[in-house]
């Protein structure tokens, strides 16, 4: 006896016309490409912000180091 597949058991892809399926695939690809481009842009912006923050920290460390060397030099001159 051959088992019959009920209509509700069939996958929707079997009921959609091929052009609609292809349009859905194209739309999904376009959406994925846009999302990837946005993710790359966000990563580039995050990298730039991180580099700027690191530069600022290094400036502050240099300034602090210079101040410390000045203070030490002054103390050594007093001795």
pLDDT of residue 72: 95
Q: What is the pTM of this model?
A: 0.59
Tell me if 35 is assigned to some domain: yes
DSSP string, 4-59: PPPGGGS-GGGTS-HHHHHHHHHHHHHHHHHHHHHHHHHHHHHHHHHHHHHHHHHH
Q: What is the span of the domain harbouring residue 47?
A: 12-78
Query: Domain tally for the chain?
Result: 1
Q: Rounded mean pLDDT of 12-23?
A: 82
Tell me if 6 is assigned to some domain: no
pLDDT of residue 8: 59
Tell me if 3 is assigned to some domain: no
Query: Which letter does DSSP use for residue 16 in this model?
Result: S
Tell me if 4 is assigned to some domain: no
42-74 pLDDT tens trace? 999 999 999 999 999 999 999 999 999 999 999
Query: Two tokens at 48?
Result: 């730039």
């Amino acid at each position: 006896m051959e088992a019959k597949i009920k209509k509700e058991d069939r996958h929707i892809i079997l009921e959609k016309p091929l052009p609609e399926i292809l349009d859905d695939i194209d739309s999904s690809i376009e959406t994925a490409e846009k999302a990837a481009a946005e993710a790359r842009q966000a990563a580039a912006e995050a990298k730039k912000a991180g580099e700027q923050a690191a530069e600022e920290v290094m400036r502050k460390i240099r300034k602090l180091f210079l101040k410390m060397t000045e203070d030490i030099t002054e103390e050594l001159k007093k001795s």
